[in-house]
Structure 1
């Protein structure tokens, strides 16, 4: 038909969902950005070998992280800030248990009850948390991907650690190679364009046939 324009492809309009606020409970099965503070001397070992769960703590054994970077900056306690590093992480929280008071019946037994992570909300009734900031504990280190060094006073050491992260391939290991978004929670449904035959991801900003 004269004047008809044929085309194939799309442009996606993203739903700009706000980042999960500190007081919102992590949703089971989702992936969140969190932070972990450590001694600078241990940073390279963590990057190379992964996290080693604490044997005990407020929430029992596990890796302690927080969505609040200021919380992570306080760890380890009694350590000068020049001797600290704060890692930026992607955390697959799995099944989450909320712990919000002293002597909670599942405070240290949440994993035995089938949970993958425990979450203390900000301004909880747990008396030992004086800062009022939220805290999380993840049982399995495999749920945590180290993606960046968020804080390090020594810029030279920070750059060195970032290069090491890049060399380990952890910075973007779980990103889709088409849309470049995280797919560690669930693989994206890659399809073939019915017109040009290219591989396409439904989360791409756009696809235009060649």
Structure 2
């Protein structure tokens, strides 16, 4: 299981429509997921310390491209190559250590299994 952290204001939309893909990021367009503690810290950062939601997700990675080390693919070539998911190690950012992240092309590969309000 993996996690996505978000601002409280997005919770209702996620409940109705599911997670929406970002248009850009380290691994190109897609839905970004990581481990629980990191997702929580990212959500706190983006929510400027206000109430946040931690979304627990069951992920079917399908065909997954694993980028070596902390390589990125900002244009999302992995998706054009037919992969469903890309995984890489994100350099230290909000947390002071590298962490795993997954970028998923299509929300049909995700199933939200829990949402927890924090703060």
Q: TM-score when scaled to structure 1?
A: 0.49
**1:50 CA displacement:** 1.4
How many aligned positions are there? 116
**Which position in structure 1 is the counterpart of 2:12?**
44
**Structure with the largest fraction of helix:** 2
**Structure with the largest fraction of strand:** 2
Q: TM-score when scaled to structure 2?
A: 0.83
- Are 1:140 and 2:106 counterparts? yes
Q: CA RMSD in A?
A: 2.3
User: Would you say the 8 A contact 2:64–2:87 is kept in 1?
Assistant: yes
**Which position in structure 2 is the counterpart of 1:72?**
39
| Gaps in structure 1 of 5+ consecutive residues | 1-32, 155-210
Q: Structure 1 residues 78, 90: closer, same or farther in 2, change over 3 A?
A: closer
- Render the CA deviation track for 1:38-58: whole Å, top value 9, x for unaligned: 111111111101121100100
**Which position in structure 2 is the counterpart of 1:193?**
none
The one of 47, 53, 66 equivalent to 2:21 is 53
Q: Higher relative contact order by CA 8 Å / sep ≥ 6: 1 or 2?
A: 2
Larger Rg: 1
The one of 148, 152, 167 equivalent to 2:117 is 152
Moved over 4 A (4+): 101-107, 126-130
**Which position in structure 2 is the counterpart of 1:95?**
63
User: Would you say the 8 A contact 2:87–2:102 is kept in 1?
Assistant: yes
